[in-house]
Structure 1
Amino acid sequence: MNDRFLINKTAVVTGAGQGVGQGIAISLAERGATVALLGRSLEKLEISRSLIEHAGGKAITIAVDVKNAGELAAAIERVVNETGGIQILVNNAQEVPLGTLLAVAEEKIEAGWQSGPMATLRLMKLCYPYLRGDGVIINLASSVGMRWDMSGYGAYAAVKEAIRSISRAAACEWGAEGIRCNVILPHAMSPGLKTWTENRPQEAAEFIASIPLRRIGECKEDIGDFVSMLCSEHSRYVNGQTIALDGGQARVS
């Protein structure tokens, strides 16, 4: 396999300033793609760009609130104007509404909905004209939707499961037009997961013990590199799937 198998491709990655989004963006750039880094913090995005450019890749940064439809439209217009098109879309950004049903604030749920399934759908529709023919969409959901004990995670699971439904519909509706859409469920040591493991050490220890490989994944090597492969011609017949990148923990249905 040629290491530069995404050359002449443009990828849009949301939440690209840190964690899993950054890992995916770096891997795509290493494989030859020009990567549009989208996120709320321009400072964080510039760090990701410097890492990409240091490795010989190309990236542009666009500060955007994914909950704002107008900002998303302007961002995609800029990407197309500067790069000529879009072949890969990775929807990673997500505000996480955690808490029991009685405790979680409705504003948190609304932010989770707007930053997750609504932003995902909006970007899919904005990018659709450019993805037709050979485009790939990778949407991020979570194995939290497979938890037996959903206590404290119901709102988060709800917004993530909505993303899975939207993704499956796109795979079916747009597949004939040459657009593939898949979902990944990643476990990786992102800043959010790191904070969770520090704040809930006992739950985190139990969580890691439940992973057959007994470790949490790496953002670039375990998640990003798989996404790059999933975006390539080597995965051209993979469509409409939910793939857990979690060391074997979840049983996906």
Structure 2
Amino acid sequence: MKLKGKVGIVTGSASGIGKGIALAMAKEGAHIVIVDVNEKKGKETLAQVNEHAEGLLFIKDISKKENVYEIVSSVVEKFGKIDILVNNAHVSKQAPFSETTEELLDLSFGTGFYPTFHFMQAAYPELKKSQGKVINFASGAGLDGQVTQTSYAAAKEAIRAISRVAANEWGPEGINVNLISPIALTPGVEQWRENAPEMYDAMINRIPLRRLGDPEQDIGQVAVFLASKDSDYITGQTIMVDGGSIKLR
């Protein structure tokens, strides 16, 4: 029960990596606030979270700043504090660099970068009180410059940049800010595996550990570590949870 009594917000947690993190943290005793736009899947995740700890569900469009502040205010009213902030939600569309439009950039920044930025600012007063933990998300798309990922890579690297700034500024106040760069078997990847098995196998063969991460058992457990006291002396770092695909120097 490493997170017993803690209160954590996890965005994009109705399914995939976000759900895996929400369940992993709930099983360690944390009260989890699920934030998503998918009501059906959000309610399913809430029911699973409630088997282990108290959960709370918000079906909100977090690309709108006012919704972010409303969620933070409601969480504090309900639980009295915020200990953990996990900014996982992000939507983007792929396109070659020469065909990437401002609309595609706006989609990626509007659903990934700006919600991360706004949640961090909105939750900062509470994180300062609790000496809390922020977990943001990077991606190999940005670190490695993956083709057709211009808008996604740009937003993810922007998130890495503000995370490092916040780590430096908030460190003296006892707030840790770190990032996870994952590769995981999400529902979207499972569908892609069915539609393009040869491409999927080729991807697996490029991963040293020869498998994709499990959202709860692999990604979720690292998130638990970063949210717990075990990581108190780690901040401003990008943790690669990708089976060894990228080695940072």
Contact 1:10 1:86 in 2 (8 A): yes
**Aligned residue number for residue 92 of structure 2:** 96
Q: Choose from 23, 27, 35 the match for 1:26.
A: 23
Q: Choose from 237, 241, 244 the match for 2:237.
A: 241
| Backbone CA RMSD of aligned residues | 1.4
User: Counterpart of 1:94 in 2: which secondary structure?
Assistant: coil
Identity %: 36
**Aligned residue number for residue 40 of structure 1:** 37
**Aligned residue number for residue 60 of structure 2:** 64
Give per-residue Cα distances to partners, 1:100-151, cap 9 Å, x unaligned.
Answer: 1233443222111011111100000000000014210000111112326x32
Task: Give structure 2 stretches of 5+ with no counterpart.
Answer: none
Q: Choose from 213, 238, 246 the match for 1:217.
A: 213
Counterparts in 2 of 1:198 and 1:144: CA distance versus 1, 3 Å: farther
- Which runs of structure 2 are paired with 1:155-174 in the superposition (5 Å)? 155-174=151-170
**Aligned residue number for residue 143 of structure 1:** 140
Task: Give structure 1 stretches of 5+ with no counterpart.
Answer: none
User: Counterpart of 1:240 in 2: which secondary structure?
Assistant: coil
User: Counterpart of 2:98 in 1: which secondary structure?
Assistant: coil
Tell me how far apart the structure 2 counterparts of residues 199 and 108 of structure 1 sit (CA, whole Å).
24
**Aligned residue number for residue 123 of structure 1:** 119
Task: Give 1:183's aligned amino acid.
Answer: L
Give per-residue Cα distances to partners, 1:162-187, cap 9 Å, x unaligned.
Answer: 11111111100111011100000011
User: Counterpart of 1:169 in 2: which secondary structure?
Assistant: helix
User: How big is the shift at 1:29?
Assistant: 0.7
Tell me how far apart the structure 2 counterparts of residues 198 and 109 of structure 1 sit (CA, whole Å).
29
1:202 aligns with 2:198: yes
Q: Choose from 173, 181, 204 the match for 1:185.
A: 181
User: How big is the shift at 1:84?
Assistant: 0.5
Task: Give 1:140's aligned amino acid.
Answer: F
Q: What TM-score do you get using the length of structure 1 for normalisation?
A: 0.94
